[in-house]
Amino acid sequence: MLGPSDSAARTSARFVCDFEPGTLISALIGEVRVGACHTVVDTGAGYRLRVGFMCGRYALPVDRDALGIYYEAWARDTAELAPNFNVAPTSSAYVVDEKGENRKLRVVSWGLVPRWAKDTSMQAKMINARSETVSEKPTFRDSFKESRCIIPALGWYEWQRAETSKTPFFHKMDSEPFVSMAGLLSAWKNPSTEEWLFTCAIVTRPAIDSLAYIHDRMPVLLEPKDFSLWLHGTTSEADALILKQPSGIQAYEVSSLVNATKNNDPTLLTPVNG
């Protein structure tokens, strides 16, 4: 709930939303804390801002081998994750990576840590990369140029916000078993332990008209015929894929149980009115 200076807070929230979560927010406003579908910002002036960003949760209750078959990726030596109906920032997740002719399913942590980072303190705020600036922002530009990936999901959650409430919706494809989100991959070496941490971020774009009533952003979605081009095409080819208009997406309201990460079971996908 917004406190004093209500109208000013709303104006600031719209301003902050123009940036990737965590890039400039800390410097401009103060402490940032990631929540279910928003970031809580402590302004230090007696009130807090709730800054929404997309995509903050998704579902992947699918086994490793099924993903390997669908994406034609080597998966046998990939660690097997438990089904997850409520994937949250910094959770372990699958991505599809391709080097040369070798396409592989890999387990990474969601929230990109660039290779030049001193530590992982900003990881939870780097779950999304705006397509409009992905080739320019220092955090993401190297990965966009050199290390793109696909982040598979059964679908993603988004919250429709009103003055006093937020309503979760689940988004999935009509004709494909998975949502294939355009992603970025990074490898970061811990300077203390010399261990490698592989991380990812979802590339986002303005929502298509049919989904904009829920949220103004959505993931960049890839068609199967474009997988290879996204994974190892030129940046110009990747830019062209970002501009393609996705279709065949259905969205429906689900329970607010998804708001809490402790809730993680198939009932999160059940339509409220179904």
145-172 residue pLDDT tens: 999 999 999 999 999 998 889 999 999 9
Give me the catalytic one of 20, 37, 98, 158: 158
Q: Is the pLDDT of residue 10 over 90?
A: no
**Residue position matching structure tokens 């109906």:** 85
Mean pLDDT (the chain, rounded): 84
Q: Are strands 148-153 and 155-161 parallel, antiparallel or unpaired?
A: unpaired
> Quick one: average pLDDT of 10-25?
32
More confident residue, 227 or 32: 227
All residues at 6 or more sequence positions from 75 whose CB lies less than 8 Å from its CB, including other chains: 64, 65, 67, 68, 104, 105
Cα–Cα distance for residue pair 2/4, rounded to 1 Å? 7
Indicate the pLDDT class of residue 121, thresholds 50, 70 and 90: very high
55 an active-site residue?
yes
Residue 77 has a pLDDT of 85
Q: Cα–chain-centroid distance for residue 194?
A: 27
pTM: 0.81
Contact 201, 111 (CB under 8 A): yes
Which CATH superfamily includes the segment(s) 57-268?
SOS response associated peptidase-like (3.90.1680.10)
Confidence category of residue 54, pLDDT binned at 50, 70, 90: low
For residues 63-77, give the mean pLDDT. 94
Q: What is the pLDDT of residue 40?
A: 38
Set 37, 55, 149, 200: catalytic member? 55
Q: State yes or no: is 158 an active-site residue.
A: yes
Mean pLDDT of 60-78: 94
pLDDT of residue 274: 65
Domain ranges of the chain: 6-52, 57-268
Q: How confident is the model at residue 55 (pLDDT cuts 50, 70, 90)?
A: confident
Confidence of residue 101 (pLDDT cuts 50, 70, 90): confident
Mean pLDDT across the stretch 65-86?
Answer: 95
